[in-house]
Structure 1
Amino acid sequence: MSRSTTPTRRPTRRSVLAAGAGTAGALGLSACGGFSTGSDDPPSGGDDSTLTMITWAGDAELKAFQTLADGFKAQGGPTVELQVVPYSEVLTAVDTGLRTDSPPDLFRVSYTDVAAYRAQNVLADLKDASSLEKSFLPAFWSAVSDDDGTFGVPHHTDTSMVLVNTAAVASAGLGTLPSTLDTAWTWEQFLDAAGRVQPSRADTYAFAVNWQNAGAYRWLNFVDQAGGRLLTEDLKGVAADDPGMLKALTHTRDFFRRGLVPQASSSRGQPASDLFVNQTVAMVFAGDFLLEEIDGAGFDYQATFLPRDVNASADLGGNALVAVEASPRKDAALDFLAYCAGAEQMGAFCAAATVLPTRTDVDPATLDYTVRPDLMPLFVEQATTIREQLVQQVVVPDFSAVNGQLADRLDAIFLGSDDDRAALAQLVAGVQSVLTS
């Protein structure tokens, strides 16, 4: 695979998400096969001091990563060569390098996949982790840490809110949208609002939820909002009889049973953001990193908070940067991670990529966001509802396989006709089947 610093065809935000469905499968294969311990040979395409980093990136992110690489070199560090691949190919590229004794020095990885690599002893333990920890929000630090150490830096986060097509809902008389967490719609209020949205044409629906592709885990937002959990407290099994999980399943199935969402927006369906951009839906659950793409659609939209039930709860989005233990340049790679995690560098990256910082000392209000700076403070507030008990469940080593099961089972459940308890039993059996003891 080419080690050039620019890809032949840079992925757009939408293509990055659309490609994401293959990620869980790629990691599942690597976890079954195990990893090599690496060798002392430098990666092809660079000299002995060059660091190679595998990542996915849209145009804005690629420029931001190159700025980090340039800044690191300017401070005396080695060259960092960016190998940019589509999101669906990142884990395959990493796994291939590990198996063939030519691993990258660093790679970008979703928080939900960190633990799987940690379990295979692939990741290098972060130097001076204790001095860095105090600067980071606990939920994100816990996503890269366990009892044995800290295996990466929580580089940034993103989370979902409800985006609303202003013109599409004006006739529904919804008035001013909730603008604080305290006034966020309850589940019942959101369904009432969705039911009042009048379709402007035959193929228009009230909303779509962003649980497609690799995003099936976002269904767990609803479970957590209902006070439930997918995994037992010891994280080793499924909480089969959890009433909150049943409540969430009934609630989300009602989206389809009431005709509020397109059938094509199931967990194996069309990306929710596409449906919003082409105005098939009037509202969409979407992450802040999609604002640049949505802003180019040519219509006015607003944002409001995720609906709440017992709890307000949001999904853990964003990514970590990790170094490979087997790399002969491990120390330099860890230095680059520490550089990327610096307050100034993190702030600049987040502003350029329309994402949120994970450091407590980087105030998003001071960042020069170029896309919808009026909405970014709302996403910041929404991110405060990312709950640590949900984070713990989505960063277990088996979670890539769990996420794949959620996608498959939810698709059958949303579009099926079994009663809710029988449907939940199918989901529980599917998730339990991929959990290791």
Structure 2
Amino acid sequence: MSNHGTSRPRTSSPRGPSASRRAVLGGAGAGLTAAGLSACSGFSTGSSGSGESGGGGGTEQLTMLTWAGDAEAKAFKALADGFTAQGGPPVKVQVVPYSEILTAVDTGLRTDNPPDLFRVSYTDVGAYRTQKVLADLPDAATLEPSFLPAFWSAVTDDAGTFGVPHHTDTSMVLVNTAAVASAGLGPLPTTLDTAWSWEQFADAVGRVQPSRADTYALAVNWQKAGAYRWLNFVDQAGGRLLSEDLTSAATDDAGALKALTYTRDFFRKGLVPQASSTRGQPASDFFTNQTVAMCFAGDFLLEEIEGAGFEYTATFLPRDVNASADLGGNALVAVDASPRKAQALEFLTYCAQAQQMGEFCSTATVLPTRKDVDPASLTYAVRPDLLPLYVQQATTIREQLVDQVVVPAFSAVNAQLRDRLDEVFLGSAEDAAALAQITDAVQSVLTR
């Protein structure tokens, strides 16, 4: 993740077994977010009464709180300027470090001085929905058909739609061209329909011959907060981490066991560095310093990898029963208690239109969530040959997986995945017992 009201009938698409998400949301813990309510020294949303603040002061200007790199900040400013040019109020885009965003929002909520809008990772939306902090999108039924279902699912429950799925990012397999030249892999898959199966991917990785004693074939991007990306393999195998009603860990799941065996074999066969486990170093670091020949990596890393000085390309994630990719990216949400809620919701709708989304994604090097944004229309400055492939890969982000990673307790679930997978990948327990270690740990945080 490039590094988170009143019930009424909805006209949303069927959600199958996950339609009971409200039961999970209603039972979430008391804390607003994983960041808790720790103080954010020096944070201010502006001076009340000037028309420039979040919270209770002024009505002339909206305040949106976000984190952003230079390109993203430029893209957000363009959205704000465009909205004002069309007759909307001015929008003050207030940028804070990513590590401070949740604390800043929570501090504003506690002191009755929140921003009117803020940017949030999909995996953090559930915690705010549970606390009834977010405004329900009034034109959800009109917008929904234009969005890919998995992303709409990330901001929607039975009570409503709480924000717009603004953009996404996801993973593909990057390949060091020279490092795999002698492996005889042939042309890499260039369409989703021809993506490697698990068996074909394992064969390809096994044929890569490291050139030095300290080099390896592969690294997977499941380190630290990215531990949830292991669930790609679980979903590809048709398995689940959580039960279908999202209230407990799925036990003895055949797909999860198959995924665990498959991914543990990367370590057991010496195909990945030991230090690339879930508590280890970022997979992309191993790729950029040419310790590994192949790497799972998100599109947001391409600009950094471009500076490494070697040729590389990308191919799609391997597939088993399903093609499945990880949910990255962020939503834009409005605060329900804002005196400028109506204008804030209008800004969300403006940001969610196809033209604005396409321009934002092109500038910020991220991926659209609308299905009517033509990848060919996106003018990416970084690797324009690969970004359209990432756009295709994002269409394999599945609702069944999204529902599991946006439950309110997911930050705690993800921390358990990080710790338990590290023990399992580097340990010697039998596979079924190792899976039980993981599911027992997940169950422990779901029942707190």
TM-score (norm 1): 0.89
Contact 1:111 1:395 in 2 (8 A): yes
Q: Is 1:28 the counterpart of 2:34 in the alignment?
A: yes
- List alignment gaps of at least 5 residues for structure 1: 1-12, 18-24, 34-39
The match for 1:86 is 97
The match for 2:179 is 168
Q: 1:70 to 1:113 in 2, by over 3 A?
A: same
Contact 1:226 1:310 in 2 (8 A): yes
Contact 2:165 2:330 in 1 (8 A): yes
For residue 417 of structure 1, give the secondary structure of its aligned residue in structure 2. Answer: coil
Deviations 1:377-431 (A, max 9, x none): 2212212211111111112222122111111111121122222122111111111
Q: 1:332 to 1:376 in 2, by over 3 A?
A: same
The match for 1:97 is 108
The match for 1:212 is 223
Letter in 1 for 2:118: F
Q: 1:290 to 1:26 in 2, by over 3 A?
A: farther
| Cα distance in 1 between the residues matched to 2:49 and 2:240 | 45
Matches within 5 A, 1:4-403: 17=3, 27-28=33-34, 30=36, 46=53, 48=58, 49-403=60-414
Contact 1:43 1:103 in 2 (8 A): no
The match for 2:426 is 415
Determine what percentage of the aligned residue pairs are the same residue.
Answer: 77
Contact 2:35 2:102 in 1 (8 A): no
| Cα distance in 2 between the residues matched to 1:89 and 1:95 | 10
| Cα distance in 1 between the residues matched to 2:50 and 2:417 | 37
Deviations 1:296-347 (A, max 9, x none): 2221111111111121111112111001112222122111111111111100
Contact 2:252 2:436 in 1 (8 A): no
Letter in 1 for 2:204: A
Contact 1:43 1:52 in 2 (8 A): no
Aligned partner of 1:431 among 406, 418, 442: 442
How far apart are residue 29 of structure 1 and its match?
Answer: 5.2
How far apart are residue 76 of structure 1 and its match?
Answer: 2.5
How far apart are residue 436 of structure 1 and its match?
Answer: 4.2
Letter in 2 for 1:62: A
Q: 1:316 to 1:44 in 2, by over 3 A?
A: same
For residue 355 of structure 2, give the secondary structure of its aligned residue in structure 1. Answer: helix
| Cα distance in 2 between the residues matched to 1:164 and 1:186 | 17
Q: 1:421 to 1:279 in 2, by over 3 A?
A: same
Contact 2:32 2:131 in 1 (8 A): no
Contact 1:211 1:219 in 2 (8 A): yes
Contact 1:136 1:359 in 2 (8 A): yes
| Cα distance in 1 between the residues matched to 2:419 and 2:50 | 37
Letter in 2 for 1:219: W
Contact 1:68 1:345 in 2 (8 A): yes
Letter in 2 for 1:30: G
Contact 1:31 1:116 in 2 (8 A): no
Contact 1:106 1:324 in 2 (8 A): yes
Q: 1:335 to 1:197 in 2, by over 3 A?
A: same
Letter in 1 for 2:335: V
The match for 1:22 is none
> Cα RMSD between the aligned structures?
2.2
Deviations 1:93-112 (A, max 9, x none): 21122122221211111111
| Cα distance in 1 between the residues matched to 2:160 and 2:115 | 21
Letter in 1 for 2:175: V
Contact 2:51 2:61 in 1 (8 A): no
For residue 139 of structure 1, give the secondary structure of its aligned residue in structure 2. Answer: helix
For residue 180 of structure 2, give the secondary structure of its aligned residue in structure 1. Answer: helix
| Cα distance in 1 between the residues matched to 2:401 and 2:182 | 37
Q: 1:43 to 1:206 in 2, by over 3 A?
A: farther
| Cα distance in 1 between the residues matched to 2:258 and 2:315 | 23
Q: Please identify, of 384-393 and 236-245, the stretch whose mean Cα deviation from structure 2 is larger.
A: 384-393
Q: 1:229 to 1:42 in 2, by over 3 A?
A: farther
| Cα distance in 2 between the residues matched to 1:42 and 1:238 | 49
Q: 1:372 to 1:263 in 2, by over 3 A?
A: same
Contact 2:299 2:387 in 1 (8 A): yes
Q: 1:201 to 1:340 in 2, by over 3 A?
A: same
Letter in 2 for 1:214: A
Contact 2:135 2:341 in 1 (8 A): yes
Letter in 2 for 1:249: L
For residue 320 of structure 2, give the secondary structure of its aligned residue in structure 1. Answer: coil
Contact 1:26 1:92 in 2 (8 A): no
| Cα distance in 1 between the residues matched to 2:106 and 2:430 | 41
How far apart are residue 30 of structure 1 and its match?
Answer: 3.2
Contact 2:237 2:255 in 1 (8 A): yes
- List alignment gaps of at least 5 residues for structure 2: 4-30, 40-46
For residue 179 of structure 2, give the secondary structure of its aligned residue in structure 1. Answer: helix
